[in-house]
A and B are shown apart, each in its own frame.
Chain A
Amino acid sequence: MILKRFLRYLLVAAAAMTISLPAQSAMVGTAQLQAGSAAIELATIADQRDWIREQLIVGGVAEAKAAERVAAMTDAQIQEVYQRIDSSPAGGTSALLVVVVVLVVLEVMGYTDFIPD
């Protein structure tokens, strides 16, 4: 399976939390306090979130469920996925699904089966 080959580049790890939203609202959020000057653009996070949701759908997750699942991820997690993609040799438009594999876990030996929805 092609996906497997990329896993080793993309795999895991505990990434430090590095980001959060810029202070667009008047209160400053805790994640942003923690991140300090490392804050990134809100728009960027939103785009990345959207992209990951699309990848879940490509990966066979139902649309409504994919939205829900991406909503359950923090900005830091979204960013974590992205940082790995940037540093991986598998980047590029043809590797969309591969990229979601970041942090994926495959179980031993393959026979295919799909989760009933």
Chain B
Amino acid sequence: MKPEPERARNLACTLFLVFLLGGCATSPQTRLLLDNPPDLPQQVELTEVPFFPQKKYYCGPAALAEVINFRGGNVHPDQIARQIYVPELKGSLQVEVVAAARQYDLLPVELDGRLESLLRELAAGNPVFVLQNLAIDLLPVWHYEVLIGYDFDARKMILRSGTNRRITRPFATFEKTWQRADYWALALVPPDQIPVTASAGDYLDAAIGMEQVGRTAIARQAYETALGRWPDNSLAYSGLGNTAYALGDYAAAESAYRAALERKPDQAAIWNNLAYALAAQGRRADSIDAIRQAIELEPDNPNFAASLGELKSPQ
């Protein structure tokens, strides 16, 4: 690594921050937070989050490696760079960060964009992967970082950032730089956990993504975890059914579909899937009853008519 440009880069970073400090007019979330302090510890620092000094433009790979290794993975930023770095762009796409996290069996759960949620996640022991725009909207300077703590008394966030093992940034400044990156933040959790501030919808988005890329067993576990927190969520039951079916566990699929239907009986597509789970268990008559329910609910849907044809025909 060349020392000269390295210094220049750090200097540039510093200048931007100074500029920001001068330019912060309003930080509404910070004000709200200070006016109504949440019931959380005054200080949190997840010191056990490892540090990988960033090389060149590898802020994405370095930050991602920090979180993955914190979660028990064993991966070097260079390895991750091969999955997310785009040389001509000298950077990494957010969609690829999300996709890479899945490959390490971590659910990339998008947080709700509230400053308080970040503190709540940190207090719960979850480092947060954030995007910052360290400059201005017109000339953005994007940077991925990992939030590892906060100090409420000093009103500062604590981060692993680039070549710095530990930096702090005032709440108000952080809010501005985060706002310019559309408040993008990810909690990366194993499938037996749910970020404390995540909504059912946000968590299920992550589980469905995992299912879609073929990490079926992980997705199944995530649906089960979701049902622990949101026991009446029909979509979580449906996902559990679909992943169980895909794994060949047809009896489990059947009971998950039935649980989904108990909560929302008018879902034709679930009746359809139930029909297949029954057929897979050799229960042909039950299967045809189920698909007829789907057709009754949506008589004009050609897919269910096609399902009936398929389920009626001998194998």
Residues on A with C-beta less than 8 A from B235 are 30, 33-34
Residues on A with C-beta less than 8 A from B16 are 108
Residues on A with C-beta less than 8 A from B90 are 106-107, 110, 112
B13 at the interface (CB under 8 A from A): yes
Interchain CB contact (< 8 A) of B56 among A102, A105, A107: A107
Give the A-B pair count, Cβ closer than 8 A: 177
- Are A27 and B242 in contact, with the CB atoms below 8 A? yes
- Roughly how many angstroms separate A27 CA and B250 CA in the complex, as a whole number? 13
- Roughly how many angstroms separate A83 CA and B59 CA in the complex, as a whole number? 26
- Roughly how many angstroms separate A17 CA and B16 CA in the complex, as a whole number? 35
Tell me the chain A residues, 50-71 only, with Cβ under 8 Å from chain B: 56, 58-61, 65, 69, 71
- Roughly how many angstroms separate A33 CA and B237 CA in the complex, as a whole number? 11
Which size bracket describes the interface of B in this complex? 35 or more
Interchain CB contact (< 8 A) of B140 among A58, A106, A111: A106
What 1/0 flags go to A13-37 for Cβ under 8 Å of B?
1100100000100111111111000
Interchain CB contact (< 8 A) of B242 among A29, A56, A73: A29
B contact patch SS: helix
- Are B99 and A77 in contact, with the CB atoms below 8 A? yes
Q: Contacts A33-B238, A110-B90, A111-B5 given: A74-B140 contact, CB under 8 Å?
A: no
Residues on B with C-beta less than 8 A from A23 are 269, 303
**Distance in Å from the Cβ of B258 to the closest Cβ of chain A?**
15
Which B positions have Cβ atoms within 8 angstroms of A?
2, 5, 8-9, 12-13, 16, 54, 56-60, 81-96, 98-100, 102-103, 110, 113, 131, 134, 137-144, 162, 181-182, 184, 204-205, 208-209, 211-213, 235, 238-239, 242-243, 245, 267, 269-270, 272-273, 276, 303, 306-307, 310
Name 7 A/B residue pairs within 8 A (Cβ), A-sorted: A26-B310, A28-B303, A33-B238, A59-B86, A77-B99, A103-B93, A107-B57
7 further interface pairs, Cβ-Cβ under 8 Å (given A13-B184, A105-B94):
A23-B269, A26-B303, A28-B303, A65-B82, A72-B213, A107-B90, A108-B134
